[in-house]
Amino acid sequence: MSIAWPAANAYADAMRLVVNNCVVPGRSGTVSIVCDDGTISEVAPAGAVASIRGDVVIDAEGRFVSPPFVDAHFHLDSVLTRVPNRSGTLREGIDNWAHYKRSKLTVEDVYQRANRYCEHAFARGIQAIRSHVDVCDQRLLGVEALLQIRADWKDRIDIQLVAFPQDGFFDGPETRSLLIRALDMGVDVVGGIPHNERTGALGHRSIVELMEIADERDLLVDMHCDESDDPGSRHVEILTDETYKRNMGERVTASHITSTAMMDRYYLNRKLIPLMARTGIHVIANPLINVHLGGHFHHPAPRAMAPIKELLAAGITVACGQDCNEDPWYPLGDADMFEVAKMGAHVGHMMGLAQLDEMYRTITYYPARIMRLDGYGLDPGARASFVIFDAPTLLDAMRTSAERLVIVRDGTVAIDRRLNSTTDG
Ligand code: FE2
């Protein structure tokens, strides 16, 4: 299988790219970004860089330029299935997905949906995705399809796959061997879903066994953890302790942990968060999905999202992921990471200007750290991958979910929605 890239453009063979008049995060005034052979070689104040013959030169005209979005929590195998969820609950989503797996899933089906989504996501400025892939399927069709997607998109999107036992690690007698087989096939990260095991004790055991597998293979871990309104769902404590005992801090991520929104504040702030901060474990919240799926059965309805303000204040690396796009859990979604960050800002009371800057980092720099992406950012030495937004500042880009005017990947202009770029010489 292959995919059709956007039509070849005038920039394809250029060696040096100079982007002038850029507004970039963390620097005042405008700068020029110089890219040589796919790497940023220089970031200099505006006017300090002279273009030379053969350069591709783009005038950003004072627009905001950012490294690409990183979506560290997504499900490419279920994307665009558009399966209705009448109750709007996590449970019905899991059941409907199980039915879809049994009745409709093929390698071609997963590949085509994921491929369509990647085309849209790339055009929306996303260049890295960590996708969970359900391994509770004897045929591992999703794994086969997404390994192909990962290979076919490697020049545009860095895709990391997580072996995810959606129905529970102890749901079926073969789930363990299916998960191991998926890792043997090349899936990158060990997943889990302790709150979906039949009992809390099985959830605990699943964490221990999955961490053992990851430790033996020297892999990263990212578990769906405590995606529940039950304040007694405390698997993240076990995951944190296993991380500590195995000295695997910074290789382990707890996704969702929405039960923390319901927890006793003494336990949360005096025990759990300090323990997590000491260990170095990461957190991924999924604001759109968390507030949609959580809080159905409580009155007043809670803000069913991890307390990102407190987690960030404790020094924990927090990312915000999109999780779902037109799938059995969520009928909306448009590959817009600004939408994700803005929902996180609303729900997490993160609306101060410095806090909005932090929210921007939860969809860029922080998930890049979680995914361990090499050369991320806009400093010299980084990969020359970035997005020019049609907005003068980060705040305006976020506020308006500004159009992604120009998309650069490894020094090559992949998409240019402006028509006034020039080539010197
Ligand atoms: Fe998820």
In CATH terms, are 16-67+377-423 and 69-371 the same topology?
Answer: no
* Share above pLDDT 90 across residues of the chain, in percent, rounded to a whole number: 89
* Residue-wise pLDDT tens digits, 337-374: 999 999 999 999 999 999 999 999 999 999 999 999 99
Instruction: Answer yes or no: pTM beyond 0.85.
Output: yes
pLDDT at site 165: 98
**Smallest Cα–Cα separation from 239: which of 217, 221, 262, 213?**
221
Ligand 1 midpoint to CA 256 (Å): 8
Ligand 1 midpoint to CA 384 (Å): 30
| Alpha-helical regions (H) of 83-174 | 90-103, 107-123, 141-152
**Smallest Cα–Cα separation from 291: which of 374, 347, 330?**
347
Whether residue 319 contacts residue 277, with contact meaning beta carbons closer than 8 Å, is answered with: no
The rounded distance, in Å, linking the Cα atoms of 57 and 37 is: 15
pLDDT at site 416: 94
Sequence-distant (6+) residues with CB within 8 A of 201 are none
* Residue-wise pLDDT tens digits, 291-329: 999 998 888 888 999 999 999 999 999 999 999 999 999
* Residue-wise pLDDT tens digits, 87-120: 999 999 999 999 999 999 999 999 999 999 999 9
Ligand 1 midpoint to CA 108 (Å): 22
* Share above pLDDT 70 across residues of the chain, in percent, rounded to a whole number: 95
The rounded distance, in Å, linking the Cα atoms of 304 and 320 is: 14
H helix or E strand, kind and range, residue 317: none
Q: Is the pLDDT of residue 406 over 80?
A: yes
pLDDT at site 300: 87
The rounded distance, in Å, linking the Cα atoms of 276 and 294 is: 23
Ligand 1 midpoint to CA 15 (Å): 39
Query: pLDDT-based confidence at 14, cuts 50/70/90?
Result: low
Ligand 1 midpoint to CA 321 (Å): 9
Output the average pLDDT for the chain: 93
Beta bridge partners of 147: none
Ligand 1 midpoint to CA 166 (Å): 9
pLDDT at site 2: 34
Q: Answer yes or no: 227 catalytic.
A: yes
The rounded distance, in Å, linking the Cα atoms of 240 and 108 is: 38
Ligand 1 midpoint to CA 74 (Å): 6
CATH fold for domain 69-371: TIM Barrel (3.20.20)
Ligand 1 midpoint to CA 253 (Å): 12
Sequence-distant (6+) residues with CB within 8 A of 139 are none
| Alpha-helical regions (H) of 265-319 | 265-266, 273-279, 287-293, 308-313
Q: Is 202 exposed, middle or buried (0-12, 13-18, 19+ CB in 10 A)?
A: middle
Ligand 1 midpoint to CA 286 (Å): 8
- CATH of region 16-67+377-423: 2.30.40.10
∠ CA(326), CA(329), CA(333), 5° rounding?
Answer: 35
Annotated active-site residue in 119, 197, 227, 237: 227
Query: pLDDT-based confidence at 3, cuts 50/70/90?
Result: very low
Whether residue 10 contacts residue 423, with contact meaning beta carbons closer than 8 Å, is answered with: yes
The rounded distance, in Å, linking the Cα atoms of 330 and 222 is: 21
Query: Per-residue pLDDT averaged across 138-167, rounded?
Result: 98
pLDDT at site 1: 36
The rounded distance, in Å, linking the Cα atoms of 253 and 319 is: 10
Ligand 1 midpoint to CA 86 (Å): 19
Sequence-distant (6+) residues with CB within 8 A of 366 are 317, 318, 319
The environment of the single-atom ion ligand 1, i.e. residues with CB closer than 5 A, is 323
∠ CA(379), CA(128), CA(92), 5° rounding?
Answer: 145
The rounded distance, in Å, linking the Cα atoms of 413 and 12 is: 7
Kindly list the domain boundaries of the chain, sorted by start residue: 16-67+377-423, 69-371
* Residue-wise pLDDT tens digits, 122-149: 999 999 999 999 999 999 999 999 999 9
